[in-house]
Amino acid sequence: MRRSLLLILAVGAGLAAVPWLGLPAFYESILYLVLHWIALATSWNLLSGYSGYFSFGHGAFFGIGMYTTATLATRFDIPFLWTLPAAAVAAALFAAILGAVAFRVQAVRAELFSLLTLAATFVVATIILNTPIDGGPGVYMNAVAVPQMGPTAAGTFYLLALGVAMLTVLAALVVYHSRLGTGLFAIHDDEDVAEVMGVPTYRYKLGAFALSCALAGVVGGVHALFVSYVTTGDTFTIAMPLTVVLMSVLGGTRHWAGPIVGATAITLLLFAFTGGDSAILGKGLTGLVLIVVILFMPQGLLGQALTWWSAQRGASRRPGVPGQVPAAIEETKAAAIPGEVLLRARDVRKSFKGVHALRGVSLEVRRGEILGLLGPNGSGKSTFINVASGHYAVTAGHIDFAGQRISGLPAHRIAQGGIARTYQIPRPFAHLTVLENVALPAMFGAAALDRRTAQAEAWQWLAFTGLTERAHALPADLNLHQRKFLEFARALASRPQVLMLDEVLSGLTPSEIDEAVALIRRIRDQGATIVFVEHVMRAVMALCDRIVVFNRGEVLAEGAPQDVMQRPEVVSAYLGQTIEVRETAVVGDAMFKPNVAKELAHA
Ligand SMILES: Nc1ncnc2c1ncn2[C@@H]1O[C@H](COP(=O)(O)OP(=O)(O)OP(=O)(O)O)[C@@H](O)[C@H]1O
């Protein structure tokens, strides 16, 4: 980050000298427009590019900035520069109100958010047009004094745009390298998983939205004076948000500098073909470039270049020691009192529109044990993990963890408190490397490490799970076994007190299962507490200290594995009929899981 910061400051200082070069005002105006679009596209990217919440309402916030400045400077005679912070605050305030509502509604994601922000633009435009803020004729700013910053008025506007562009780019850089940026990129890939790993998704989206819109508001404030005549017709157009989206996508939305590349390219391309027929040619060419980039370079120009560059350079490696348990687990162990009740569920119910997935489940998880959750398909095991980790809210009942009530808390608070989980079907963050996937929960989970320490520890967890060689790969390049182990590494990296493993062994070959069982043993031997949902009976019998059997959303039996698995009601629940169970043999047809019958026979 330091190098990027120095680069931005050096380029900014160099560009600040331009007004004194004696260029014709025309060129300064062109440069003004380039900087104007850089600021707008970069500010848009801060929420939308990083988190994937594409806003088509950037024009609304830009427009609020324009009208705030226009109103304050013309009606209240406030000096122009003083109106800019007000423009930022007004835009941020509107964004915060809109975001506070929109981000609370789970359904408002992706295209719904785009539509909502687009609708907000028309609402704002209508209000401004039909109130004294504009009233119809627009606001003239000819009488507003342009501050003396450069040798000429054109030079001053250029410097104002440069200042705002610098501010925006610096904000984008800082966010990119901060926890906020990491959280936003995780939200982009899988918001639910990000939340369950400790990312405060609501707060992060709201913060990024407000910041993005505050910056758009300042750009609007400057532009109001530049155009000197503000109208709703010119301000609240769909063309503006579309242009910033295209600029960001062209440059690359996953890098702070992507919108700079896209905005510069498009503005200069359009400028190169100004006037008459060539204007149409310019627009056509711009469209063609965009289509080619979107089709063949989905990461954008900069994203593509950076991928190529890192491939040339070769990835860095900081391997940990294979198989060695990182120190984190040792620390957790030292603080533990084995046997105490760590998690207690009381009469927990969960319904999904008439489907009663949990019908009053009560169970305890004791510190240091491996508790197996068993039961036929659809009996509620995963739902229990989902409510315990905060992925779903309970319908009734309560869950206490380490003496605190956690049912009702948002998932990120539960993760920060020390519960980590894996998903039955691995849900890695698709655009983050394996290493980044593991570092994220180390930053946001119970460990709450800073970025650098989290990365260092992630290397250790990769070594522990045998993924070091794949550290720089994307999850899509992993096989199922590796993806399952990645789930493992992510859950461990948060340094949880309770680790909930949801069918981590399903789909693995027998030798891969043996490897995973050995891994879970190593974690258990360090005193970790594990809740283990599994159908692979061989592993259940080998690993679990106690088991709880679910059936139709209720606890059917609990106790020592050998005892419980022989109870007729348990065998019946699994196999659909009462059958003979001897110490190690099961006879009969498996109705729910054929492999369970086989497994039971060998357990
Ligand atoms: N999001 C949801 N919406 C509607 N129904 C759901 C949802 N999640 C789970 N269910 C239902 O709740 C019941 C319990 O499902 P759950 O996934 O918890 O079972 P399970 O014991 O984990 O099964 P499996 O072993 O197949 O994973 C099922 O009837 C399932 O269809």
The pLDDT tens digits for 270-286 are 777 765 567 777 777 77
Rounded to the nearest integer, the mean pLDDT of the chain is 84
Q: In order of start, what are the domains of the chain with their CATH numbers?
A: 2-239 (no CATH), 340-418+497-566 (3.40.50.300), 429-492 (no CATH)
The per-residue b/e assignment along 569-590, b for 16 or more CB within 10 angstroms, e otherwise, is ebbbbbbeeeeebeeeebebeb
DSSP codes, 327-361? HHHHHHHHT--TTSEEEEEEEEEEEETTEEEEEEE
The pLDDT tens digits for 487-536 are 989 998 988 889 999 888 888 888 888 888 888 888 887 778 999 888 88
What is the average per-residue pLDDT within 281-308?
Answer: 79
Residue 127 CB coordination number (10 Å): 12
Q: What angle do CA 44, 303, 483 make, to 5 degrees?
A: 105
Please, are residues 388 and 345 in contact by the beta-carbon 8 Å criterion? yes
- Sign of the Cα pseudo-torsion (339, 342, 343, 344, in order): positive
Residue to mutate (ligand 1; options 363, 379, 555; most atoms within 8 A of CB): 379
pLDDT attached to residue 172:
95
Q: How far is the CA of 511 from the centre of ligand 1 (A)?
A: 29
Place 328 in a pLDDT band, splitting at 50, 70 and 90: low
In ligand 1, the atom with minimum distance to the C-alpha of 553 is 14
Residue to mutate (ligand 1; options 381, 591, 595; most atoms within 8 A of CB): 381
pLDDT attached to residue 535:
81
CA nearest ligand 1 atom 1, residue: 352
> How far apart (Å, rounded) are the C-alpha atoms in residues 38 and 36?
5
Phi and psi at residue 28, to the nearest 5°: -65, -35
Q: How far is the CA of 418 from the centre of ligand 1 (A)?
A: 24
The pLDDT tens digits for 79-137 are 999 999 999 999 999 999 999 988 887 766 767 888 888 898 999 989 988 888 887 78
Please, are residues 320 and 468 in contact by the beta-carbon 8 Å criterion? yes
The letter for the amino acid at 288 is: L
Q: How far is the CA of 567 from the centre of ligand 1 (A)?
A: 24
pLDDT attached to residue 347:
93
The pLDDT tens digits for 375-430 are 888 889 999 999 999 989 999 999 999 888 998 899 999 999 999 999 888 899 99
ipTM over 0.90: yes
Q: How far is the CA of 382 from the centre of ligand 1 (A)?
A: 7
Contact residues of ligand 1, CB 6 A cut-off: 352, 355, 357, 375, 377-383, 424
In ligand 1, the atom with minimum distance to the C-alpha of 535 is 25
The pLDDT tens digits for 29-64 are 889 999 999 999 999 999 999 999 988 989 999 999
Place of tokens 């709201």: 206
In ligand 1, the atom with minimum distance to the C-alpha of 379 is 21
Strand, coil or helix: what is 239? helix
The letter for the amino acid at 292 is: V
Q: How far is the CA of 385 from the centre of ligand 1 (A)?
A: 11
> How far apart (Å, rounded) are the C-alpha atoms in residues 104 and 206?
10
